[in-house]
Amino acid sequence: MKILMLHVDDFSYEAKKKAIKSAENVSQKSYSTSNALVVFATVEPNDSKVLDDVVKDIVEQLNRLKVNEVVLYPYAHLSSTLAKPGEAIKVLLKLEEMLKEKGVKVHRAPFGWYKSFQIKCKGHPLAELSKRYSPPEYKPKVLDSYVITINGELTKPKANELNEEIRIVWESIEKGDWKCEEDLACKYCSKFGFVVKKIGDKCFPAYLPLAYFMFNAVLIYASTLALNVNELIPIYFMKDTDVEEECEFSPIVCEGFCLRSSDEEQAISVDESDIAIFEILTIYRKSGNCEPCKRVNSFHLPVISAFFNDRLNAEKFLLMMHDLTHNEAEKIGQKYVVMYNLRNDVKDEWFDLIKNMVGRDNKDGIVRIIEDSNALIDVEYLLVSNCGKPVEIGSLKLIIEGDKYVVKASPLGSIERYIYMILDKAAKDYKEGKPPMLPMWLTPIQVRVIPEERSVLPYVLSVVDELKRAGIRVDIDDRNVSMGTKIRDAGKEWIPYLVLVGKREKETNTVVVLRRIDNNRIDMSVKELIEVIKEELGEYGQLPQTLPLYYSRRAKIALPSDVSNK
């Protein structure tokens, strides 16, 4: 809850008309008073748990001001994370009741109305005071944990009977041990410009040019991916939203990457048929570690929220999102350990759905029976990282709200975590002796052209022009340094294809292509190179180039010394 307390000389309001369908009915539509404390209040989810603190602070302020009247004024503009109207009214009514029990004279303005008001605020030091109240950290109670086999059997094997990845996740859950000693994927994040900006005791992400390009490439891909939902249910794209999460960060348990309650209500009330909403949420957390891409105090989460009238369609959509989450990980060479959190009071009713999901995976998973969750099923997709610790990437929930079945899916996870997963694959490749690489669609520069001498520059420009016409992101290393230096510097940037051009290539109208993946040199035409790159791009979209054509004109940004040569 957020409140703004103002000590006023005079205050008056008039309710004009209802702003929402669920606005309360009132007989008194106007009110005026003087020498009172006006409390503008924004109710957020779970605020019933903070009312004791709110009442305590309001009463203390009244005593300091020697005032005995409070005007409780519902005000939805202090936060972007609003409680549902029904919950908000209950909280405000309870707040009014608790204040009256303290002997305070209270007038509460009507909820859900457009209102005009006039105010004259006093000018002393205590006349204006704002407060923010956060409910206690959400921690669902875990009643029991099992390994579920592909046959749907719940077992409690010993640690030495578990496969390696499930054992790592199981032990991390039991010990609460998630921290890596040295995470190469985080270093790669820094290498590409995903940096951490420390403000006080909090860490926020910042994006240098290469990182900003990669961030936007994933953002657009997530939006494109959401369009596939149209095959099953109409989807609407909402504007980006800021969400402040009050729970302490937990790598495994985190309640609610929810849309704003007002948007959910709109989705249900506008259309009684099945409907889905896609939105990029910016999540702000109270705590987080300073690990680029992986754990910071804010991140961006693409979310699909789908609302269904019947269980069958909700289950069908849930399975579709489950398969999509796995497929997106497999496309970049990763695989998940899946943990299914099932609410205790519905475990018998919904367990068959979890068995279905495990059977589709064709691999064992983890089931936890929990209490105190608003989700019937909460699925967490965990990656065992290059440093041997689990990291949650994707997330999927099934919730019942009113008469609607709601599926909330984030098949890529947050944009930052998805990029972390890609760079984690590169880190694993490096540790296996393979060259670390980015997927072709995510690589800021896909081809670097290196002329062997200045006399071939006209031919180089014709090669570059042909590549650019095909939509390939390409630059020219025009620096006055040795060929070896140019090739090494391209390697530091993980450029997948180097095109070497000399007199022979000019005369034969070909190029020499040096492939990063295997360090092979191949003679080919520019057209053949374009076909190879297009095949690697596959279904992924191709963003336009954001870096200068000439390498010498690029701004130089220092890279971490311990990863710059990897």
Domain segments of the chain as ranges: 2-132, 141-429, 440-553
Give the tens place of pLDDT for each residue, 384-419.
999 999 999 999 999 998 788 999 999 999 999 999
Helix, strand, coil percent content, the chain, rounded in steps of 5? 35, 30, 35
Residue-level pLDDT at 101: 96
Give the tens place of pLDDT for each residue, 263-282.
444 444 445 678 899 988 88
CATH architecture designation of domain 440-553 = 3-Layer(aba) Sandwich (3.40)
Other CB atoms within a 10 A radius of the CB of residue 193 amount to: 20
Confidence of residue 558 (pLDDT cuts 50, 70, 90): low
Rounded to the nearest 10°, the torsion over CA 226, 229, 230, 234 is -90
Distances (CA, A) of 547 to 101, 498, 501: 65, 17, 21
Give the tens place of pLDDT for each residue, 287-322.
656 788 888 878 899 999 999 999 999 999 999 999
pTM: 0.77
Q: Report the chain's mean pLDDT, rounded to a whole number.
A: 88
HEC assignment per residue over 468-481: HHCCCCEEECCCCC
User: Where does 192-260 have alpha helices with state H?
Assistant: 209-227
Q: Which residues contact 217 (CB under 8 A, 6 or more apart)?
A: 441, 442, 541, 543
Give the tens place of pLDDT for each residue, 204-249.
888 899 999 999 999 999 999 998 887 778 888 765 554 444 433 3
- Return the exposure string of 473-506: e unless at least 16 CB atoms fall within 10 Å of the residue's CB, then b: bbbbbbeeeeeeebbebbbebbbbbbbbbbeebb
Rounded (5°) CA angle 524-528-530: 125
CATH architecture designation of domain 141-429 = 2-Layer Sandwich (3.30)
CATH of domain 2-132: 3.50.80.10
Residue that is written with structure tokens 């190179």 in the block:
529
Give the tens place of pLDDT for each residue, 491-537.
999 999 999 999 999 999 999 999 999 999 999 999 999 999 999 99
Give the tens place of pLDDT for each residue, 362-381.
999 999 999 878 899 999 99
